[in-house]
Amino acid sequence: MLLQLLINGISLGAVYALIAVGFAIVFSVLKFSNFAHGGMISACAFIGYFFQASFESPPPIIVTIAVTSAAGVLFALFLDAIAYRSIRRHRSPSIYYFLASLTISILITSLLNIFFSKNALAYPMLFSSTTFDLGSLKVSRMDMMILAVSVVILAALMLLINKTKIGLAVRAVAINPDTSKLMGIDSGAIIVLIFSIAGFLAGVSGVLLGCKYGVYPDLGQTMMVKGFIASLIGGLGSLGGAIAAAFILGVIEMFWTFGFGALSTPVMTFVLMLLFLFIRPQGIAGQFAKEKV
């Protein structure tokens, strides 16, 4: 039973990691928490659902993820163009980013609630059998698919950030966008790349969450809280810290739910965050985040 819960917790943490990294990568460069990310996840979940359901014989889920991720990138760039670019151009305080992202998130969720009911829509069946045997364990095929996709994407992203010239440019802009311009780095292009990555992750998260929990307007908002908490515990702006915290949070949540029930889980999550920030406010990464001014 313990191993079963551990596997399920790691799978849950993998999705939290995708969401947390979506937060962290924007914060690392622009120093604000993009709360519109939750609304984007919900919108992408619906896009993925309608794409998958539009075929008599549904395409492989990887095709749906690719299409939805592309839509997520376009959506993120659109939001940046209409909301965030003007704020950057005028070097406005971070409160403007917060208000803009919160307004966008509420608007997206409200529109989804208007056009769609709160009843969850189920993705077409992906597997003929929902579980497979691993020794004495019954392992969910859905959980394994989610874990595999998440790990591959997170690994590719970490390689991009830590092992390529593009990643070096991203890290340079995150440290000091003005100085990086003097070094020949186009910080504007890097910011576009950052929003593209965040949109891509929203697309992947939307499909994976939709497959597991069904699609409904508040899906992204519900999961956004977990991703934000993970990025906070990991250290805002730290991708590695966000990933580590997300997996830890997923495992703890799964064991807690098994022992004490699902109703108390949100309370436990917030208490865990407050305790961690009281003990180690800089997060797992060990660095304090600096607010954009």
CA distance 215 to 246: 22
Q: Is 262 among the domain residues?
A: yes
Predicted confidence (pLDDT) per residue in 72-100, tens digit: 999 999 999 998 988 888 877 778 888 89
pLDDT mean over 97-125: 88
Range of the domain at 275: 2-279
Whether pLDDT at 129 is above 80: no
What the block records as the tokens of 115 is: 């056009």
pTM of the complete model: 0.89
Which residues is 132 bridged to in the sheet? 139
Interior CA angle at 122 toward 121 and 127, to 5°? 170
Predicted confidence (pLDDT) per residue in 176-221, tens digit: 877 888 888 888 899 999 999 999 999 999 999 998 888 999 998 8
112 Cβ contact partners less than 8 Å away, ≥ 6 residues apart: 42, 43, 46, 217
pLDDT mean over 243-266: 89
Q: Is 290 among the domain residues?
A: no
What would you measure as the largest C-alpha separation in the chain, in angstroms?
61
Q: Is 148 among the domain residues?
A: yes
Overall domain count for the chain? 1
Q: Give pLDDT, residue 293.
A: 41
Cβ–Cβ under 8 Å, residues 30 and 194: yes
pLDDT, averaged across the chain = 86
Predicted confidence (pLDDT) per residue in 231-244, tens digit: 888 887 788 888 99
Q: Is 105 among the domain residues?
A: yes
Q: Give pLDDT, residue 89.
A: 82
Q: Is 165 among the domain residues?
A: yes
Q: Is 284 among the domain residues?
A: no
Q: Give pLDDT, residue 291.
A: 45
* pLDDT band, residue 263 (cuts 50/70/90): confident
The CATH number of residue 179's host domain is 1.10.3470
CA distance 291 to 293: 6
Q: Is 113 among the domain residues?
A: yes
